[in-house]
Amino acid sequence: MRYISTRGRAESLGFDDVLLAGLARDGGLYLPESWPEFSAKEIREMAGLPYSEVVFRVVKPFVAGVIPDAALKSIVEESYASFRHRAVAPLKQMNERLWVMELFHGPTLAFKDFALQMLGRLFDYVLRERGERITIVGATSGDTGSAAIEACRDRDQIDIFILHPHGRVSEVQRRQMTTVKSANVVNVALEGTFDDCQDHVKAMFNDQSFRDSVKLSAVNSINWARIMSQIAYYFAAGVALGAPDRPIGFSVPTGNFGNVFAGYAAGRMGLPVSQLVIGSNRNDILTRFFETGAMTMLPVEPSLSPSMDIQISSNFERLLFDLLDRDGAAVEATLTSFRETGNFALSPDRHQRALRLFDAFRLDDDQTLAEIRKYHQLTGELLDPHSVIAVAAADAMIRDDVPAMVCMATAHPAKFPDAVHRASGVTPELPEHMADLFDREEHCTVMANDLSKLKELVLSRRRNS
Ligand SMILES: *Cc1c(COP(=O)(O)O)cnc(C)c1O
């Protein structure tokens, strides 16, 4: 399998190079040169298989020639072994046509574990084959740091440093990061803001000699391997509800467009995906885009669903590539002018083509709370402020000819206890394996807001062999 860039000017690469590169040299994102397709029979045979076996079958064509079957099998099995539900991604019925797929039984209680647990192990495998090591440095305002740490802990070829602003992340978020005890994980509490953390990370990447000497890398949200890993749960949900013999819709609480793009990819690979609903919060750039055909940037405002507080959805570029008939130059021209003017529009016929598959819906914070309350009363289920947007959007937008729609529940309600309590009067409990989180020992270095000290720390704490 070869991969091409959405901007058409970077050379095509194999899976291992795409994994390590993240972004293409021309600034584009990688996509498979052509989509592997499963026959109806192959899809039917996925029904009832263990989750990791579905992942193995879905991912195999994407890594063909780079990762042998036996190695892929163990990567996949290990990635999902730490999930706390035996079904890994269980489905629950909400009403006649709506289902929820719970994607929050991983180590950090959010759906990013599905991609990152695979990503850490894929990195480790490819680096070991090449005899290389990398150092990952990242900044977090609280939410993504723990998923990255859980993904990279104990990986031989990787050292990971995560910076968070000292005293400015919630105690649960901090403890999810700092109670990980692993020789290759370093938590830094920086005496500064999240922006300071991000600036230092950028500065380290911009220092070419430092960057080369420690082999700096990132666990980027645009990495193709993350999307690839997520395609599997669309197939698992689809076959459980009657695919390939019945069309399925999906509703996805959307930020960077990675999750919903995986659903789109599943459709390109033969799953009968008949509708994709995009849920947004008050940061509704995507919903406005699907309503009007025009993408118009506005400032980001904080909401109850912070993982969807975005200005630009980086993975949207992958859909744009198809909407513009895979014309890399057109993608580049469109996105360059978007960066400059904050605007672009699709032609009416392309907009109509997008609407054959996609619909979008927004909820503000008050509506989000009201919907959490409503579904708690109706079903007894507590939905977190991200997941509930998927369910409410599905309920509002499901088309008459869609017999079943799966709403992606992307975070455990206990990750957002304040909003859930405000809405329902119930404080969701942390799952059993996290119940002792407040008793565990923390490992964290408090550091002055000083770039050169940070670089010294990275150089001295990085393992060398
Ligand atoms: C990251 C995240 C999202 C958004 O997913 P994208 O792939 O960026 O669209 C939604 N919900 C939760 C809980 C998340 O962590």
Q: Compute the 3-state secondary structure of the chain and give helix, strand, coil in percent, each to the nearest 5.
A: 45, 15, 40
| Ligand 1 atom closest to 104 (CA) | 13
Residue 119 lies in a domain: no
**Domain range enclosing 340:** 91-107+224-424
> Does the CA dihedral 292-298-302-306 come out positive or negative?
positive
Q: How many Cα atoms sit within 13 Å of 460 on the Cβ side? A: 6
Task: List pLDDT tens digits, range 85-132.
Answer: 999 999 999 999 999 999 999 999 999 999 999 999 999 999 999 999
Residue 258 lies in a domain: yes
Give, using CA atoms, the residue closest to atom 2 of ligand 1: 307
Identify the pLDDT of residue 160: 96
* Ligand 1 binding pocket includes 226 (Cβ within 6 Å): no
Place of tokens 């949200």: 221
Identify the pLDDT of residue 465: 53
Tokens standing for residue 310: 């975005």
Residue 241 dihedral angles phi and psi, to the nearest 5°: -110, 20
Q: Treating both helix axes as pointing N-terminal to C-terminal, what angle do 171-178 and 145-152 enclose, rounded to 10 degrees?
A: 20
Residue 96 lies in a domain: yes
Contact yes or no for 444/188 (Cβ under 8 A) = yes
For residue 81, CA distances in Å to 56, 126, 272, 339 come to: 14, 21, 29, 42
User: How many structural domains compose the chain?
Assistant: 1
Residue 310 lies in a domain: yes
* Ligand 1 binding pocket includes 307 (Cβ within 6 Å): yes
- Whole-structure pTM over 0.75, yes or no? yes
Identify the pLDDT of residue 435: 87
Tokens standing for residue 391: 């369910």
Pocket mutation for ligand 1, best pick of 410, 416, 420 (most atoms within 8 Å of C-beta): 410
Q: Is 112 a catalytic residue?
A: yes
Contact yes or no for 82/65 (Cβ under 8 A) = no
Q: Give the residue among 127, 168, 169, 128 at the shortest CA–CA distance from 146.
A: 169
- Catalytic residue, candidates 41, 60, 73, 112: 112
Q: Is 326 helix (H, G, I), strand (E, B) or coil?
A: coil
Contact yes or no for 253/263 (Cβ under 8 A) = no
Q: How many residues does the chain have?
A: 465
* Residues in CB range of 191: below 8 A, 6 or more apart: 166, 446, 447, 448, 449
Residue 18 lies in a domain: no
Identify the pLDDT of residue 183: 94
Determine the Cα–Cα distance for residues 79 and 452; give it in Å rounded to an integer: 36
Identify the pLDDT of residue 87: 96
Residue 344 lies in a domain: yes
| Ligand 1 centroid distance, CA of 142 (Å) | 14
* Ligand 1 binding pocket includes 410 (Cβ within 6 Å): yes
Whichever domain contains 342, its CATH number is 3.40.50.1100
Residue 103 lies in a domain: yes
* Ligand 1 binding pocket includes 247 (Cβ within 6 Å): no
Residue type, 301: E
Contact yes or no for 295/322 (Cβ under 8 A) = no
Given a cut of 50, the residues of the chain with pLDDT beneath it are none
Buried b (16+ CB within 10 A) or exposed e, 80-111: beebeeeebbeeeebeeebbbbbbbbbbbbbb
Determine the Cα–Cα distance for residues 182 and 177; give it in Å rounded to an integer: 11
Residue 389 lies in a domain: yes
